[in-house]
Chain A
Amino acid sequence: MRRALTLALLILASVPLLYAVSLLPPVGSEDNPTYTYVVPHYLEEGPEETGCENIVTAVILNYRGFDTGGEVTVIFTALMAVFGVLLIPRPAEKVRQPESAVPVSPVTLFIVRTLAPFIVVFSVYQIINGHSTPGGGFQGGTIIGALLIAASLVMGSERTQRLLPEGVRRWLQPAAVLMFAVVGVTGMLLFGEYLSYPIEGEYLFLRVPFLTLVEIGIGVGGAAIVASIFWAMEGSDG
């Protein structure tokens, strides 16, 4: 009954949606307003104005850097939320997990151990080179975070957390938000507005380092947050 009703409702809703969709500008055409209005400026002036060859990075870090600042705040909020919801008073029943939740085969262990350095190098490359190649801070950070998660699965969370003691983690978690603030405020003091980067003039050399700093912040923060969320949910941190 409920299914049928829902289905009917959704089909009813689909009619205007599909009709509306059919009236949108045709997908893929280069004459679409999406492609003719703001984007040409990004594509033509982007590398010049922002120092990023990767225009996506130019958009997310420079033109619409504020959005990305919001984005890292969102994930930081998620971390706070997860902590707030999950963490229970310390002395209470602390469920001591076995060293690793699942018995792990030596093969997996070997693979993770061997691949880890390569993965780290790859992520760091992504983070640092985000302005000119695909990928960037968040992607790299997430991959490192995923690596930490994998390590926790293989070696157990306790041992992995020793790589990143709680005192350090606390500083790394808000790294992205803080780095944005630092770079943003520096930009504000030097070049006028929050999150502005030099377009010309004597400080031009600062532009790429600044972008890289932000990328590093996002990467570090992202990795720490992703891993911390995992640990909190897994129950080893609480």
Chain B
Amino acid sequence: MGGGQWPVVLIITPLIGAALTPILARRRPQIAGYWALFVFSIVTLAAGVLMYRVSTQGPFSYYMGGWRPPLGIELRFDEFSASIGVICLIGWLSLMFSLAYAKHALPERRIPYYFALVLLCLGGMNGFAVTGDIFNLFVFLEILSLSGYALVAITGERIAELAAFKYLVMGAISSLSILLAVGFMYALTGTLNMTDLAMRLRDVEPFPVAVAVGALTLGFSVKAALLPLHIWLPDAHSIAPSPVSAILSGLVVKIGVLGMLRMYQILYKAQIFDLSALNTTLMWLGAISIVLGALFAMVQEDIKMMLAYSTISNIGYIFMGLGLASKYGIIGASVHIFNHALIKATLFLGAGALIHQTGYRNLEDLRGVGKAMPITSAAIAIGAISIVGIPPTAGFLCKWYIALGAIEAGRLFFAVTLLFGALFIFVYYIRMLNAFYFMPPAHPEILDVGEAPVTMLIPIVVLAMLCLLMGIFGRIPLSFIEPAVTNMLAPIGG
């Protein structure tokens, strides 16, 4: 197949890098950060090359150990795998942000483990995004989840461990329900390869498959924090170190959504039963998530807590888009996976910089920070405007597509919910901006704190720029996603 070994670089480098981190950083823990950044630069390069290949030559596969599926494990690079791009981008920027952050916020002994865990988490996500084998999917899911649980607890602050434990229990249940579903599918078909599975699922008993789909949906929606299953998220995402919050909120919850997309890919191809019940459920849960997530966020005082609830709201968008099952709906959901990752990373990193510089977390205390830290605050403002979906920022396109999808599917009600949900979201973001810019400071000394260090500023500014650019050049992610969605829906004539 003569494709070069970039897939290996993509998957293996972060794992090796993580394995070597504690050794290299034994004497001087601060080295760990630079090492991790270096390692991840290589990974990002690989991701870039692979994405370029996907975009020029179309999907391709890499066979681990040379064993063709169904014998061995296949890495599948298709349009949805292009999410490695966003994983690497945000991972890289978060790592860069971590350099200064970790020095300040973590006990020195934990720093090497922190960076090792971040690398493992990102590597796990890359693996999850590209693997074509459902059991391998589970393995990578565990790598990224385990490191995620630990990263939540790593500061050891306040309720960090409790939040991590809650996250761990919920996460483990979801992983198990996913593994159970894998078991069902395996028992029915005897294969673990996704493409193969889609073929072989065509002529089996539909009911067990339905149960498996239910278990998968349950598992992935816990990971994605869809509303009734979200209880772990606010604590975990607000207590984690800010760069980790960016990764968790921007990427790790999206892993659940990506899993759903993979499942849909298989199901649409297999056409084993009517999905409308599942779709309707997702749609409603999505709508409820949007509204309730926004309402919860409105009453928060802690800035990171607010952002965490806003993630729940935004996950609602994505699930609604998926559930609409119309072309534009799914396009909107997929684009929102990318854009929300960018936006939420901007916001969390920005919030992290504010907390790092001022030491305050509450909106009340942060008043007037817009004058003290103009660049960071401006980036947060862009992020906020973007997440509400005010044009011409990244968030707008998603809203537009999902609304279009709702109308396409003949469900105007959901379009209305979506758009008004966005307004709810705006209500709490405007509180934030008011506090930053239009209110006299509660603590006058806040005006004296300087702008964040440069390694923190660069990621924030780059992400904020991307929030704007992705709105203006919305075609770029779309050029990946549209063919993929068209392909995906082709069997049902969408």
Partners in one complex: yes
Question: What is the bound-complex CA distance between A88 and B110, given in angstroms?
Answer: 8
Question: What is the bound-complex CA distance between A142 and B151, given in angstroms?
Answer: 26
Q: Judging by beta carbons under 8 Å apart, are B16 and A177 in contact?
A: yes
Give per-residue flags for A50-85: 1 if the beta carbon is below 8 A from chain B beta carbons, else 0. 000000000000111111011101101110111111
Question: What is the bound-complex CA distance between A166 and B116, given in angstroms?
Answer: 18
| Interface presence of A20 (CB below 8 A) | yes
CB distance from B215 to the nearest CB of A (A): 9
| Interface presence of B65 (CB below 8 A) | yes
Question: What is the bound-complex CA distance between A62 and B113, given in angstroms?
Answer: 30
Question: What is the bound-complex CA distance between A174 and B107, given in angstroms?
Answer: 23
The answer, among B23, B67, B120, B205, for a CB contact under 8 Å with A77, is B120
CB distance from B272 to the nearest CB of A (A): 13
Q: Judging by beta carbons under 8 Å apart, are B208 and A23 in contact?
A: yes
Q: Judging by beta carbons under 8 Å apart, are A63 and B20 in contact?
A: no
At the interface with chain B, which of A97-105, A113-121, A192-200? A192-200
Question: What is the bound-complex CA distance between A24 and B147, given in angstroms?
Answer: 35
| Interface presence of A16 (CB below 8 A) | yes
The chain B residue with its CB closest to the CB of A38 is B70
CB distance from A204 to the nearest CB of B (A): 15
Q: Judging by beta carbons under 8 Å apart, are B73 and A20 in contact?
A: no
Q: Judging by beta carbons under 8 Å apart, are B109 and A87 in contact?
A: yes
Which residue, of A41, A173, A174, has the highest number of chain B Cβ atoms within 10 A?
Answer: A174
The answer, among B65, B120, B205, B208, for a CB contact under 8 Å with A62, is B65
| Interface presence of B302 (CB below 8 A) | no
Q: Judging by beta carbons under 8 Å apart, are B65 and A187 in contact?
A: yes
Q: For residue A233, which residues in chain B have a CB less than 8 angstroms away from its CB? A: none
The answer, among B19, B63, B150, B156, for a CB contact under 8 Å with A174, is B19
Q: Judging by beta carbons under 8 Å apart, are B64 and A194 in contact?
A: yes
| Interface presence of B410 (CB below 8 A) | no
Question: What is the bound-complex CA distance between A67 and B72, given in angstroms?
Answer: 10
Q: For residue B484, which residues in chain A have a CB less than 8 angstroms away from its CB? A: none
Question: What is the bound-complex CA distance between A68 and B184, given in angstroms?
Answer: 22
Total interface residues on A, CB under 8 Å, equals 61
Q: Judging by beta carbons under 8 Å apart, are A20 and B114 in contact?
A: no
Q: A70-B140, A196-B66 are in contact. Are A34 and B187 (CB under 8 A)?
A: yes
The answer, among B12, B26, B127, B190, for a CB contact under 8 Å with A184, is B12
Question: What is the bound-complex CA distance between A188 and B5, given in angstroms?
Answer: 8
Q: Judging by beta carbons under 8 Å apart, are A85 and B153 in contact?
A: yes
Consensus secondary structure, chain A interface? helix
Q: Judging by beta carbons under 8 Å apart, are A80 and B117 in contact?
A: yes
Q: How many A-B contacts are there with CB distance less than 8 Å?
A: 187
Q: Judging by beta carbons under 8 Å apart, are B117 and A77 in contact?
A: yes
| Interface presence of B136 (CB below 8 A) | yes
Q: Judging by beta carbons under 8 Å apart, are B5 and A33 in contact?
A: no
Q: For residue B189, which residues in chain A have a CB less than 8 angstroms away from its CB? A: 33, 37
A195-212 with Cβ < 8 A to chain B? 195-197
The answer, among A71, A185, A194, for a CB contact under 8 Å with B65, is A194
Q: Judging by beta carbons under 8 Å apart, are B71 and A38 in contact?
A: yes
Question: What is the bound-complex CA distance between A62 and B66, given in angstroms?
Answer: 10
The answer, among A66, A71, A87, for a CB contact under 8 Å with B64, is A66
| Interface presence of B216 (CB below 8 A) | no
Question: What is the bound-complex CA distance between A13 and B107, given in angstroms?
Answer: 45
The answer, among B18, B161, B190, for a CB contact under 8 Å with A37, is B190
The chain B residue with its CB closest to the CB of A18 is B211
Give per-residue flags for B185-213: 1 if the beta carbon is below 8 A from chain A beta carbons, else 0. 01111110000000010001101101110
Q: For residue A62, which residues in chain B have a CB less than 8 angstroms away from its CB? A: 65, 67
Question: What is the bound-complex CA distance between A38 and B23, given in angstroms?
Answer: 41
Q: Judging by beta carbons under 8 Å apart, are B64 and A80 in contact?
A: no
Q: For residue B18, which residues in chain A have a CB less than 8 angstroms away from its CB? A: 76-77, 80, 177
The chain A residue with its CB closest to the CB of B135 is A67
The chain B residue with its CB closest to the CB of A75 is B146
| Interface presence of B15 (CB below 8 A) | yes
Q: Judging by beta carbons under 8 Å apart, are B109 and A85 in contact?
A: no
The chain B residue with its CB closest to the CB of A45 is B71
Q: For residue A3, which residues in chain B have a CB less than 8 angstroms away from its CB? A: none
Q: Judging by beta carbons under 8 Å apart, are B139 and A33 in contact?
A: no
| Interface presence of A124 (CB below 8 A) | no
CB distance from B191 to the nearest CB of A (A): 6
The answer, among A84, A174, A184, for a CB contact under 8 Å with B23, is A174
Q: For residue A24, which residues in chain B have a CB less than 8 angstroms away from its CB? A: 184, 187-188, 205, 208
| Interface presence of B143 (CB below 8 A) | yes
Q: For residue A63, which residues in chain B have a CB less than 8 angstroms away from its CB? A: 65, 67, 71-72
The chain B residue with its CB closest to the CB of A41 is B71
Question: What is the bound-complex CA distance between A19 and B184, given in angstroms?
Answer: 13
Question: What is the bound-complex CA distance between A70 and B126, given in angstroms?
Answer: 12
Question: What is the bound-complex CA distance between A163 and B136, given in angstroms?
Answer: 36
| Interface presence of B149 (CB below 8 A) | yes
Question: What is the bound-complex CA distance between A141 and B272, given in angstroms?
Answer: 44
Given contacts A87-B109, A184-B8, 6 further A-B contacts (CB under 8 A): A67-B135, A77-B143, A80-B147, A88-B156, A89-B108, A188-B5
Which residue numbers of A lie inside 8 Å of B, CB to CB? 16-17, 19-21, 23-25, 32-39, 41-42, 62-67, 69-71, 73-74, 76-78, 80-85, 87-90, 167, 170-171, 173-174, 177-178, 181, 184-185, 187-188, 191-197
Can you give 5 A-B contacts (C-beta < 8 A)? A16-B211, A37-B70, A76-B18, A77-B124, A80-B113
Which residue numbers of B lie inside 8 Å of A, CB to CB? 5, 7-8, 12, 15-16, 18-20, 22-23, 26, 62-67, 70-73, 107-110, 113-114, 116-117, 120, 123-124, 127, 135-136, 139-140, 142-143, 146-147, 149-151, 153-154, 156, 161, 164, 184, 186-191, 200, 204-205, 207-208, 210-212, 214
| A-B pairs, 10 with minimum CB distance | A81-B150, A174-B19, A37-B190, A33-B190, A70-B139, A84-B113, A20-B211, A196-B66, A66-B64, A20-B208
